[in-house]
Amino acid sequence: MHVDIISIFPSMFDSVLNSSILKRAVEKGKLEVKIHNLRDFAEDKHNTTDDAPYGGGAGMVMKVEPIAKCLRNVEKKKKGFKILLTPAGKKFDQALAKKLAKKKNLIFVCGHYEGFDERVKDYIDEEISIGDYVLTGGEIPALLIVDAVMRLLPGVLGNEESAKNESFMDGLLDYPHYTRPADYKGKKVPEVLLSGNHEKIAKWRSEEALKLTKEKRPDLLAKANKLSKGVYICP
């Protein structure tokens, strides 16, 4: 997958893209990321990318011309699915991550200040929010989405990790995990996990995932209609 990110703070991406699984995805050739400095597309000598709002009021608004010009430049090389990061967008979730993982090229436009000139939206395919809170800019949301999408691409995670992923793909929280020691200060690992009986273990994990979701995120249960291994839930 090829990802273009348009931002006025390109250095914000360095450490995240150069660490852990994202770094590995780049090294394996599964992911290619290009950061574009929006200031390079400003049309005045001060490289201005924002301006005061018409009608008055506090804060600055991201200008339309630099963004349109930058998108034109990016798409001269590679057309892509254009995403605007904004708290007013569609709420990001695993289903949207899955949808984006099917695209070949993604283009993220990160904003700052009070928001974008409304006409920026004419150049965008989808507005996305990562949650009902306001951040200082779209860079962290863009990285969050790249992370969630990348781990769904074939070959990015090892086999073990991708299998683990399946349970949340069913719309439920993950079941509890344990590793050695089997007894930590009297707190024991559930017996079934030591039994070696894979059928029983799968059943226990299904039940625990369901119990945990009911307890912590009952809203997810309304959406989930299927538990892994063919056990169906009636919402």
Q: Which residues bind ligand ADE (CB under 6 A)?
A: 85-87, 129-131, 133-135, 138, 141
When the beta carbons of 134 and 234 are compared against ligand ADE, the nearer one is 134
19 burial class (0-12, 13-18, 19+ CB within 10 angstroms)?
Answer: exposed
179 burial class (0-12, 13-18, 19+ CB within 10 angstroms)?
Answer: exposed
Nearest approach, Cβ of 18 to ligand ADE (angstroms)? Answer: 23
Q: 158-166: list long-range contacts, CB under 8 Å, 24+ apart.
A: 166/228
When the beta carbons of 135 and 192 are compared against ligand ADE, the nearer one is 135
Nearest approach, Cβ of 93 to ligand ADE (angstroms)? Answer: 13
When the beta carbons of 86 and 213 are compared against ligand ADE, the nearer one is 86
Q: How far apart are CA 130 and CA 138, in angstroms?
A: 10
When the beta carbons of 38 and 224 are compared against ligand ADE, the nearer one is 38
Nearest approach, Cβ of 134 to ligand ADE (angstroms)? Answer: 5
CA distances from 175 to 160, 219, 226 (A): 15, 17, 15
When the beta carbons of 133 and 232 are compared against ligand ADE, the nearer one is 133
Q: Kind of pairing, strands 126-129 and 183-184?
A: unpaired
Cβ contact 87:134 at 8 Å = yes
DSSP code at position 115 = -
Q: How far apart are CA 113 and CA 137, in angstroms?
A: 7
Nearest approach, Cβ of 220 to ligand ADE (angstroms)? Answer: 20
Nearest approach, Cβ of 64 to ligand ADE (angstroms)? Answer: 17
Nearest approach, Cβ of 140 to ligand ADE (angstroms)? Answer: 8
When the beta carbons of 89 and 176 are compared against ligand ADE, the nearer one is 89
